[in-house]
Amino acid sequence: MLINGFFNVVRNSLFMKFCLLFLCYCAFFIPHLRAQSIITFGQGNTPNVSVTASSQSSAAIQTLTGTGYLPNSAAASRFLSQATLGHNFAYIQDVANLGVEKWLDNQLALPNSFRTQTYLAQIHQMMVDSLTFKYPSNTYTLSNVFVGNTHFDVSWFQGAMTAPDVVRWRVAWALSELFVVSRLSAFDDNPYALSSYYDLLLENGLGTYRNLLEKITYHPAMGVYLTFMNNHATDSTNKVYPDENYARELMQLFSIGLYKLNVNGTEMRDANNNLIPTYNNNDIAGLAKVFTGLSWGDSRYLGDNEKNNWSYTLSMKFFPIDSSDAKRNPWKTQPRIVNGHEPGPKTFLGVTIPARPVLQGEQDIKDALDVLANHPNVGPFIARRLIQRLVMSNPSPGYIQRVATVFNNNGSGVRGDLKAVVRAVLLDAEARDCGIDQAVSTVGALREPFLRYMNLMRGLPLTTQGGVYRNVMVDLFSRLEQKPLNSPSVFNFFQPDFQPDGELKTQGKFAPEFQLVNSQTITAYVNALGKWLIDDDPVEYWGFFNGEAYKSDQNAKFNLVADYAFTRNDKIVQLLDKYNLLFTGGKLSAKTLDLIRAMVVKMPYSESTNGVPNADQAYRRVRLMLVLILSSPDYLINR
Average pLDDT score over residue span 72-94: 97
| pLDDT higher than threshold 70 for residue 66 | no
C-beta of residue 374 within 8 angstroms of C-beta of residue 426: no
Percent over 90 (pLDDT), the chain: 85
pLDDT in tens, 98-113: 999 999 999 999 999 9
Domain ranges for the chain: 564-638
Write down the pLDDT at residue 390.
Answer: 98
Greatest Cα pair distance in the chain = 110
* Residue 49 pLDDT exceeds 70: no
pTM: 0.90
Q: Could you give the C-alpha distances from 354 to 348, 364, 366, 368, in angstroms and in order?
A: 12, 8, 13, 11
Query: Confidence band (pLDDT; 50, 70, 90) for 212?
Result: very high
Q: Is residue 55 very low, low, confident or very high in pLDDT (cuts 50, 70, 90)? A: low
Tell me if 179 sits within 8 A of 201, measured CB to CB. Answer: yes
pLDDT at 609: 87
Q: pLDDT digits over 392-401, tens only? A: 999 999 999 9
Kindly indicate the confidence band of residue 12, based on its pLDDT and cuts at 50, 70 and 90: very low
What is the reported pLDDT for 67? 57
pLDDT at 588 over 80: yes
For the packed helices 89-98 and 73-83, what is the interaxial angle rounded to 10 degrees?
A: 110
- Segment 280-284 mean pLDDT: 98
Mean pLDDT of 336-341: 95
pLDDT band at 57 (very low <50, low <70, confident <90, very high): low
- In percent, the amount of the chain with pLDDT more than 70 equals 88
User: 313-319, long-range: CB within 8 Å, 24+ apart, which pairs?
Assistant: 313/117, 313/192, 313/193, 313/196, 314/220, 315/218, 315/219, 315/220, 316/218, 316/219, 316/220, 316/223, 316/229, 318/293, 318/294, 318/361, 318/362, 318/365, 319/293, 319/294, 319/295
Q: Is the pLDDT of residue 44 over 70?
A: no
pLDDT at residue 435 is higher than 90:
no
Distance of CA 329 to the CA centre of its chain: 48
How confident is residue 472, by pLDDT bands cut at 50, 70 and 90?
very high
Task: Work out the pLDDT band at 19, boundaries 50, 70, 90.
Answer: very low
**Average pLDDT value for residue range 343-370:** 98
Q: Round to whole Å and give the CA distance between 181 and 194.
A: 8
| Greater model confidence, 199 or 51 | 199
**How far is 294 from 247, CA to CA, in rounded Å?**
14
Among the residue ranges 327-341, 370-384, 439-453, 478-492, the one predicted with the least confidence is 439-453
Least confident of 60-74, 122-136, 418-432: 60-74
